[in-house]
Structure 1
Amino acid sequence: MKAIVVDDEPLTSEYIGWLLAQAGVDVIACCTEPKAALELIGRHRPDALFLDIEMPEMSGLTLAERANEGGYEGEIVFITAYPDYAIDAFRVNAQNYLLKPVLEEQMNAALERLDRRRDKRSSQSTAVHSGSRAFASFFGTFSLYLGDNPSPVRWPTAKCSELFAFMLLQGANREISKWVLIEALWKDKSAEKADVNLRSTVSRINRTLRGEGSDIALVSVKNGYRLDRSGVEIKADAFRMESCALDGSRIGADDFERVAAWTSRCERPFLEHFDGEWCERYRLQYGRYLTEVGRKLLGFCEESEYEPQKMLGLADMLLRHEPYVEPIRASALRLREKHEGRAQALAYYLDYAAMLSRELGTEPGEELRAIYRRWALLGQDDH
């Protein structure tokens, strides 16, 4: 194990380094200046950092956050004279903290815990990581699946999940200003508090992904962040929906079953459990994409007379999302007539007309009215 020690008191820094060396740790440096330590961390990438929290130039907490932002992937142990800092230590995912004066037995116990954690993470990485694949689900609860793992990533906080979803929707390798991120996710916080929350959340995201054996990471760029996929192909139900909706071609027999299957899994609202204002734009956007894909599917179904009952269920699902899309309402009306009979279809039309009158003060469009009139006249001729 390689380590760097940072403490503004030279004697304490050297003492901690001595304890580590006695335990067989390769001590790269014992620093008294946090800024110099940051440079060494970036250059040597040690396995562990031993940081004093109470330093005048830069606290150990801030130093740890900046190291994480710079891509540091190792362990962090804080050294403090005040046990109250323990909670703050966990904010930056420190794996341990030691109280001054540090005794040899305490240091050895801390190193044993670090070794166990490193071994566990290594085995998890080998078991979970399966190359360059990931899948994200945006409809319903946002979930990220890595490799062949059937279980989604377990984010430490809801903000981690939300921030990662936001970055993923921005597009590959796009640099996003920290102020854009703060406005979207921490609008109610002061600038200082929001900045701390952002950096802490980025750190937690990266540590979570590393623990899952993934090379995906949020990297600091200029005055913001970029989602670095590191060659990992991230597929998503949202991206699939967008591509199909914007593709000018029609859905044919060869791809109908596949598209119908994944469309039916998009019934739940987009980003269902996030309440940020930023989500509304994407809910509208991907709601329109869902509607367009649904129109393509229903158009093929009506032409080919493919399983009207199944497609009627799809039409009803789409109308729960967008109840006033009349082309889909017309498809649902025709499908209902084929599967349930004309009387049921006419009743369905009248229910819709009543809803429009009650909620919007309007009436169905010309296409729907024409269908109704034709069927109503046919019903009169039957008598």
Structure 2
Amino acid sequence: MMRAMVVDDELLVVEQVNRMLVHAGVSVIGCCVNPHEALGMAQALKPDVLFLDIEMPELSGLEIAERVYADKLDMEVVFITAYNQYAIDAFRVNALDYLLKPLMEEELQRTLERIENRRPHLGDVGGSGGQRRVVAELFGKFTLYLDSGLEPIRWVTAKCAELLAYMLLQPPEKEVSKWELFEALWPAQNAEKAGINLRSTVSRINKTLRDGGSAMSLASVKNGYRLVLSGEAPAVDASEMELFVLDAVEPAPDNLVHVEQLVHRCSQPFLQEFDGAWCEPYRKQYRHYFLNLGRKLLLYYESTEVEPLKVLRLADLLVEHDPYDETLREAALELHHRLGGSQRATAYYEAYTELIRTELGALPGDKLTSLLRSLTE
């Protein structure tokens, strides 16, 4: 399978290219938004192809490509640019291809075929013989991407999305009783009406999945339903987060980009658009997982030479999810002091003091207060 790395200083572009490559059957082994880190990451990960934005602050994609070829790294370079005029420069540094923003699926597919022709050992990429993953995102708005396209599935009703999300959170092949589904999704209805709604919703889900070219379905069993998977199981962000936490994975140079992406992706509200009571235990559980992995990443940043503003962004992100955790506040306070001195640190402390006085009728802990005193004396 082809292995790719994506470099662009715009996170949204990185995520879009990453998603397009995954749907084309490519393994994205690394993403980078800091051009200064790109070359070292490429040297460590050794991708088959490096997708490079040309226009980046301080260090352009053209300069990175020149270093790639000067260092004789065995990888293809494909430029991503919003401007046609860079084409000549792209080929001057021996790039395989260049793609114009916004990326089109057809253009990307042609580029991947060119790479395969240059590197026949990679096998089929995105063709009829290659299997593409089904991707489900439960953080933020629930979305499901099927084999047949880059656009998420459009559900006939909101209950279709909610029922499938519920089933994706169950253990593989688990049979879920209709009574459990009644209680979760139609708690105010009697059994007869809930049963009619359940059967109708299942039928609509299965038709939508079939129309999208997926072999996944909800199958009727004796007293309920189970999710039937065909081939590779869906890639579910919640499952990936859970595995990282339960397997006690620690951030390290070889998985850092993956951990950073996972923390960023999973910082959105879990099951955002659903208001059923069944969601609350899952929200608590995955908030715990997110904070667990986020704190590990913060500790890793603090133990390595990471740019302070990047560390502060992560600390602030974690504080949004746990605003009264004073260990996180201590880390943020020190970073504010490093970046802006005593005045900025004091302003941050005073804003937090006002927050907990208003919402909790409390004052900051002694440790945080002592830290401010030691930083500003």
Q: TM-score range by the shorter chain?
A: 0.5 to 0.7
Supply the AA of the counterpart residue of 1:290: F
Matched with 2:372 is 372
**CA offset digits 1:149-202 (Å, max 9, x no partner):** 211111111100000000000121111110101100001112111000001101
- Specify the SS of the correspondent of 2:270: coil
Q: What is the distance in 2 between the residues matched to 1:327 and 1:176?
A: 41
Q: What is the distance in 1 between the residues matched to 2:243 and 2:287?
A: 13
In the TM superposition, 1:136-285 aligns within 5 A as 136-147=136-147, 149-285=149-285
* Aligned-pair CA distance for 1:228: 0.9
Q: What is the distance in 2 between the residues matched to 1:147 and 1:341?
A: 52
* Aligned-pair CA distance for 1:220: 1.0
Q: What is the distance in 2 between the residues matched to 1:151 and 1:128?
A: 19
The percent identity for this pair of structures is 48
RMSD: 2.1
Q: What is the distance in 2 between the residues matched to 1:158 and 1:231?
A: 27
Kindly indicate whether the alpha-carbon contact (under 8 Å) linking 2:135 and 2:234 is maintained by their aligned counterparts in 1: yes
Q: What is the distance in 2 between the residues matched to 1:128 and 1:284?
A: 41
- Specify the SS of the correspondent of 2:283: helix
- Specify the SS of the correspondent of 1:254: coil
Kindly indicate whether the alpha-carbon contact (under 8 Å) linking 1:301 and 1:311 is maintained by their aligned counterparts in 2: yes
In the TM superposition, 1:101-112 aligns within 5 A as none
Matched with 2:310 is 310
Q: Which moved more, 1:149-158 or 1:365-374?
A: 365-374
Kindly indicate whether the alpha-carbon contact (under 8 Å) linking 1:146 and 1:214 is maintained by their aligned counterparts in 2: yes
* Aligned-pair CA distance for 1:322: 2.1
Q: What is the distance in 1 between the residues matched to 2:154 and 2:141?
A: 12
Q: What is the distance in 2 between the residues matched to 1:334 and 1:312?
A: 9
Q: What is the distance in 1 between the residues matched to 2:253 and 2:331?
A: 19
Kindly indicate whether the alpha-carbon contact (under 8 Å) linking 2:136 and 2:142 is maintained by their aligned counterparts in 1: yes
- Say if 2:354 is the partner of 1:351: no
C-alpha spacing 1:292/1:279, structure 2 compared with 1 (3 Å): same
Matched with 1:329 is 329
Kindly indicate whether the alpha-carbon contact (under 8 Å) linking 1:336 and 1:345 is maintained by their aligned counterparts in 2: yes
Kindly indicate whether the alpha-carbon contact (under 8 Å) linking 1:139 and 1:270 is maintained by their aligned counterparts in 2: yes
* Aligned-pair CA distance for 1:281: 1.1
- Specify the SS of the correspondent of 1:227: strand
Q: What is the distance in 1 between the residues matched to 2:323 and 2:148?
A: 37
Kindly indicate whether the alpha-carbon contact (under 8 Å) linking 1:130 and 1:147 is maintained by their aligned counterparts in 2: no
Kindly indicate whether the alpha-carbon contact (under 8 Å) linking 1:295 and 1:327 is maintained by their aligned counterparts in 2: no
Q: What is the distance in 2 between the residues matched to 1:304 and 1:246?
A: 24
- Specify the SS of the correspondent of 1:133: coil
- Specify the SS of the correspondent of 1:248: coil
Supply the AA of the counterpart residue of 2:371: I
Matched with 1:34 is none
Higher alpha-carbon Rg: 1
* Aligned-pair CA distance for 1:130: 5.9
Q: What is the distance in 2 between the residues matched to 1:187 and 1:158?
A: 16
C-alpha spacing 1:336/1:128, structure 2 compared with 1 (3 Å): farther
Q: What is the distance in 2 between the residues matched to 1:374 and 1:218?
A: 60
Supply the AA of the counterpart residue of 1:251: P
**CA offset digits 1:69-90 (Å, max 9, x no partner):** xxxxxxxxxxxxxxxxxxxxxx
**CA offset digits 1:209-228 (Å, max 9, x no partner):** 11111111111111011111
Kindly indicate whether the alpha-carbon contact (under 8 Å) linking 1:129 and 1:214 is maintained by their aligned counterparts in 2: no
Kindly indicate whether the alpha-carbon contact (under 8 Å) linking 2:267 and 2:290 is maintained by their aligned counterparts in 1: no
* Aligned-pair CA distance for 1:251: 1.1
Q: Which moved more, 1:253-262 or 1:295-304?
A: 253-262
- Specify the SS of the correspondent of 2:145: strand
**CA offset digits 1:277-319 (Å, max 9, x no partner):** 1111111111111111110111111111312212222222222
* Aligned-pair CA distance for 1:244: 2.0
TM-score w.r.t. structure 1 length? 0.62
Q: What is the distance in 2 between the residues matched to 1:161 and 1:176?
A: 17
In the TM superposition, 1:63-74 aligns within 5 A as none
- Specify the SS of the correspondent of 2:255: helix
Gaps in structure 2 of 5+ consecutive residues: 1-125
TM-score w.r.t. structure 2 length? 0.63
- Specify the SS of the correspondent of 2:352: helix
Gaps in structure 1 of 5+ consecutive residues: 1-125
* Aligned-pair CA distance for 1:127: 9.6
- Specify the SS of the correspondent of 1:341: helix
Kindly indicate whether the alpha-carbon contact (under 8 Å) linking 2:168 and 2:227 is maintained by their aligned counterparts in 1: yes
